[in-house]
Structure 1
Amino acid sequence: MTAPATTTYDALKKKQSALIRKALEGSIFIADYSAQLPTALTSGASADLLALPAGYEDIGWVDKADGATWSQSLDTSDVTSWGAVEPTRTDIKKETAGLKFTAQETKKRTLELYEGVNLSGVTPDATTGEVRFSRPSRPSPRHFRAFGLFVDGAGADTIYVAKLAPKATVTDKENQKWTDNDDPVGYGVTLTAKYDDAAKTAMSYFFGGPGWKALLEQMGFKTTPPSGG
């Protein structure tokens, strides 16, 4: 019998600091549910960032402490069997994904998200510019498109990472504080991703940019030459 090959830990390990990502800057874009879905993040051999479809609005500045917090949770069901000390089968019953952030800009879109109203029909007073609206007696859930994007690196090393919740609904809100401390008036909301019939998913993921393209093989992805090349 051939003796098993031996090695050292230094020969086994493979730690690549170039693959550590950091969200140096980013934005959360919100659109009405009627807006078209983004289908790609970048274009061309230089992996340039694509414009978003019409209707996607940057929510603007958000609180730095949490930034854009994407949550994921699983509910599972275990089968236990006679004579086994661990479950013999596990099924996923529910998977929930969401996005939490605190918007710092007071504007139409943040008010719509936080107050749960549709302000498309609200017109400022022609004389004073005052805006007034009331919460409906029986609010109904409203669906949005939510697209989060962050940028890492610069120039030829630029990497874009994005997540799309094609059917997102506000399911929780943070208390709003009016104080004179260092924190501005904020609009803290949690959006929960629901399955969208058009997108055929509750969440889509995008990774691109010239820096991402240069690291494909290093990250373990198989690459193929472009068609015709």
Structure 2
Amino acid sequence: MPAWETLKRHQNHLIRKALEGSTFVAPTTSSAIAALTGSDSSLNALPAGYSDVGWMSDDGAQFSSDVDKSDISSWGSVEPTRRDIASDVTTLQVSLQETNKRTIGLYIGADMTAVVPDPSSGEVVVDKPDRPPLRFWRVLTIGVDLADAGEIYIARFLPRASVTDKDDQNYQNGDDEALGWPVTLTAYMDSTLGYSERFYFGGPGWEALLGAMGF
């Protein structure tokens, strides 16, 4: 029998962490993300319409999955004899720290296309819609890690996402509290693309570890 040290295969250089990252938002009329990196493993330019929402709180981008199951029980069995996934919904929670046209619009749920500053004072006025419609966006979040061979990019793309919740906004003079725009986006199926979420893994550091990761 092999000794445990021979049998096990623990590779600490495969433990990943998102040291930094960004979330990009675009109208659903913008092109989807076909590939995150090019032939040289460097990042591709994003399609037209994608804009970085800017700094986020140090909680980063928090993805959650809400999975509902449907179980069938059978006579004589102490556990379900059949289990089906009834729903699997992905949400993305971000606490946006920058105040700009995009973050204001996401939080308030207003159409910002016609919002312009007052020509004399520069003041901007935004009305909260009485019954905000579901506005859909393409949302790309990229996390960046470092390895010996260079950067590693791990990204999640939601081709059709909508703001479905928002947290409290605090007006205060706290040492570690910015006036933020915390929102939760829910992913939906894009009927044209055929998926509600896509994962991307790339970068020069990723390419150098393909064999170690089993690819």
TM superposition score category, shorter chain reference? over 0.9
Aligned equivalent of 2:84: 91
Q: Residues of 1 paired with 2:210 and 2:147: CA distance? A: 17
Q: Residues of 2 paired with 1:150 and 1:138: CA distance? A: 34
Paired positions, count: 214
Matched, 1:174 2:167: yes
Q: Residues of 2 paired with 1:85 and 1:55: CA distance? A: 54
Q: Residues of 2 paired with 1:118 and 1:36: CA distance? A: 20
What are structure 2's unaligned runs of at least 5 residues?
Answer: none
Query: Residue deviations 1:33-71, cap 9 Å, x none?
Result: 111101001111x2111010011110100000x210011
Q: Residues of 2 paired with 1:73 and 1:211: CA distance? A: 32
- SS at 2:89 equivalent: strand
Q: Shift of the alpha carbon at 1:8?
A: 1.9
Identity of aligned residues (%): 46
Q: Shift of the alpha carbon at 1:154?
A: 6.2
Aligned equivalent of 1:81: 74
Query: Residue deviations 1:159-185, cap 9 Å, x none?
Result: 111100000010110000000012010
Q: Residues of 1 paired with 2:129 and 2:62: CA distance? A: 29
Which residue type is aligned with residue 113 of structure 2? S
Matched, 1:43 2:53: no
Q: So what's the TM-score if we normalise by structure 1?
A: 0.91
Query: Residue deviations 1:110-135, cap 9 Å, x none?
Result: 01110001110011111101111211
Q: Shift of the alpha carbon at 1:104?
A: 0.3
Aligned equivalent of 1:68: 61
Q: Shift of the alpha carbon at 1:198?
A: 2.0
Which residue type is aligned with residue 194 of structure 1? Y
- SS at 1:77 equivalent: strand
Runs of 4+ in 1 over 6 A off after TM superposition: none
Aligned equivalent of 2:101: 108
Following superposition of structure 1 onto structure 2, how do residues 125-144 of structure 1 map, counting pairs within 5 Å? 125-144=118-137
Q: Residues of 1 paired with 2:4 and 2:149: CA distance? A: 34
What are structure 1's unaligned runs of at least 5 residues?
Answer: 1-5, 222-229
Q: Rg: which structure is higher? A: 1
Q: So what's the TM-score if we normalise by structure 2?
A: 0.97
- SS at 2:107 equivalent: helix
- SS at 1:218 equivalent: helix
